Structure 1
């Protein structure tokens, strides 16, 4: 029996890839098989992660778990930005973040403890209608290229196996009797996947515009009552920038619309002096479906019965729009929940002595 199927990860979005990375960094890469309908490099409306902006921001929640996941994620991403920025498509970027109302002060205070170059902007510098603003050094990520980097690293450096397979139920994770534990990282599919069927899950649609604007070098975000506007330079893309956006809860439409593109261009020109002064070349418009969940992300260990035997599943989904910034921290917690099982694996499959 393949020892590489002792651990199975369902889903190859950023959440599944981060779980594979945490497992690999702890020495379990050779036990891991990732099963997914889509793999890094693919493009599909329901394959959410490649459509992300993406950056590190205060857009995530304020409960203790979300604060912890963000902190771990920022440490992981800034380490990549220091050690292998070109290879990983991650870079440090100056950032300004603004709120018109409903300022998450406790969240901002928690993040100020570790964000590099953190400052609260004085009221005299706030644009009209802005209640609070901060500046700091964020990390911006070229989402599709970063996923391809993780795919290559996991496969070539750690021996993780990838299998293209459309998963029809949670039980598919245990098709090989050798599989001891599975991680369910199926995102939006967890709402309907037999064996999970979590009706707290829902999509949050976002449309973004990919532009070429090489003189745009700063990240900027403005959170309003009924809108999100942001400018995110895309690392390693020869001057491309993501302009956004929308946060449309319970909207599963993957189409793009010209009136939304116009709204995004108008809002980002008003928001960013760099965009306003740049000759922006529109390259494409994308729509993606963030895998959201009422009550926040679910990271939970569960025993299920497979052919009369007990098997272990760890659910890890529902990150919404925070998968890239919180995913490594979420993966760390998901893996930690099955440390007892993982320790047994090395005893079952010891490395041969040289």
Structure 2
């Protein structure tokens, strides 16, 4: 009996990771990754290149499904940090809660110290005397940051080494068109933001873009950091900084559903810089890794996150037994990529159990 053919739609982090994990577990299966955009391309609908990329789960204490999706990625990225070509870097991660946010939360520390305190390595609650001014609570843990251009090309290279075909396609009209074009037995829909443009299946939940804006700077920082803040005038804004292994930092940001335009918000850029100077003073310390005495901006990036009401969709389609979905991860695509892929692998393994030599 011939081995099955699988086409993975989408060459972002979800599509490439899914293809690789399928090939590792089903070596005799023929796999093609088909995408309108490939690593190295830049388009606002191709969201993976715009990510800040780290591991810091968004799962709440009672969101067990997302927890199980995010857990594998933590250990996998720690492992990948030992591979120089991956672009993954182990970096101590700090999380802070401002005084205003603490008051707004009802002064309940449990709302800040999440489930993963018992999961991540080297978790430590920061003593109050060591907290920055204006910060009520803080913790740190062993974290990772990911340089996305390097990591996406690393995934692409691994796919090619594994014998996975990579094909650039025009925008496809439907999942059925993809199935026919590649004579595929199974289609894995990893199209992210473009899932709303792909016909041939239904999704009862709303899919929508979430806008983000980050500042890429040449200045260096000691640690990865995020600050949860209560800013009534800017309810969609937050602060985070992610050092890059090759030098420089990504500093953000916002999570806005207002996507009337994708032009730079220059006011937000200035607020990002002000917060960076407040919380990360070594950015302009010339005694720290030769930093400039000013914020040296390389580029301001505005991108979109592929969000979905109810969270990521990782499942077999209810109408087509040959169709599987893996999209709608919002800002959690990188950290959840291995967990999402693991579920797809299990579903496909169960489905094609009748094929020989798998």
Q: Does the 8 Å CA contact 1:29/1:154 hold for their aligned counterparts?
A: no
Q: Does 1:113 align with 2:112?
A: no
Q: Is the 8 A contact 1:115 1:136 kept in 2?
A: yes
Q: How many residues align?
A: 335
**1:258 paired residue number:** 266
Q: Does 1:205 align with 2:215?
A: no
1:45, CA displacement in angstroms?
1.4
Q: 1:68·1:329 contact (CA, 8 Å) conserved in 2?
A: yes
Aligned partners of 1:252, 1:196: CA distance in 2, in Å?
27
Query: Residues 141-160 of structure 1: CA distance to partner in whole angstroms, max 9, x if unpaired?
Result: 0011100010011112x111
Distance 2:181 2:112 in 1: 43
In the TM superposition, what whole-angstrom CA distance separates every residue of 1:112-166 from its partner, at most 9, and x where no partner exists? 223121101123333344343110111000011100010011112x111111112
1:295 to 310, 327, 345: 310
What does residue range 268-347 of structure 1 map to in structure 2 within 5 Å?
268-277=276-285, 278-279=291-292, 280-304=295-319, 311-345=321-355, 347=356
- Structure 1: tracts of 5 or more residues without a match: 306-310
SS at match of 1:77: helix
Tell me which moved more, 106-115 or 260-269: 106-115
Q: Cα deviation per residue 1:4-56 (whole Å; 9 max; x = unaligned)? A: x8111111111111111211221337511111100111111111111111211
Alignment-derived partner of residue 288 in structure 2: none
Structure 1 match to 2:65: 65
Is the CA contact (8 Å cut-off) linking 1:191 and 1:197 kept in structure 2? no
The 8 Å contact of residues 98 and 223 in structure 1, kept in 2 or not, is answered as yes
Contact 2:57 2:335 in 1 (8 A): no
- From 197, 214, 217, give the equivalent of 1:192: 197
Q: TM-score, normalised by structure 1?
A: 0.87
Aligned positions of 1:113-152 closer than 5 A:
113-152=118-157
Find the partner of 1:159 among 159, 163, 182. 163
CA, structure 1 residues 327+64, in 2 after alignment: closer, same or farther (shift >3 Å)?
Answer: same
In the alignment, which of 80, 90, 93 is matched to residue 91 of structure 2?
93
Q: Quick one: structure 1 residues 291 and 118, their matched pair in 2 at CA, closer, same or farther if it must change by over 3 Å?
A: same
Q: 2:251 aligned to 226, 233, 243, which one? A: 243
Distance 1:39 1:177, change over 3 A: closer
- How far apart are 1:192 and its partner, in Å? 3.4
Q: Aligned equivalents of 2:350 and 2:160: distance in 1?
A: 25
Task: Tell whether the 8 Å contact from 2:10 to 2:34 is kept in structure 1 after alignment.
Answer: yes
For 1:343 and 1:197, the matched residues in 2 are separated by 27
The yes-or-no answer on 1:79 pairing with 2:79 is: yes
Q: Deviations over 1:188-217 (max 9, x none)?
A: 12223212454511111001111101x423
Moved over 4 A (4+): 106-109
| Superposed displacement of residue 61, structure 1 | 4.3
Separation in structure 2 between the aligned mates of residue 110 and residue 29 of structure 1, nearest angstrom? 39
Distance change >3 Å, CA 200–CA 327, structure 1 → 2: same
In the TM superposition, what is the alpha-carbon distance from 1:176 to its structure 2 partner?
4.5
* 2:235 pairs with 1:229: no
Residues 97, 58 of structure 1: alpha-carbon distance in 2 compared, 3 angstrom cutoff: farther
- The whole-number CA distance in structure 1 between the counterparts of 2:328 and 2:60 is 12
Asked if structure 1 preserves the Cα contact closer than 8 Å seen for 2:215 and 2:299, the reply is: yes
**What's the counterpart of residue 181 of structure 1?**
186
* Root mean square deviation of aligned Cα: 2.3
8 Å contact 1:58–1:107 — kept in the other structure? Answer: no
Q: d(CA) in 2 for partners of 1:114 and 1:133?
A: 17
Q: CA deviation at 1:73?
A: 0.7
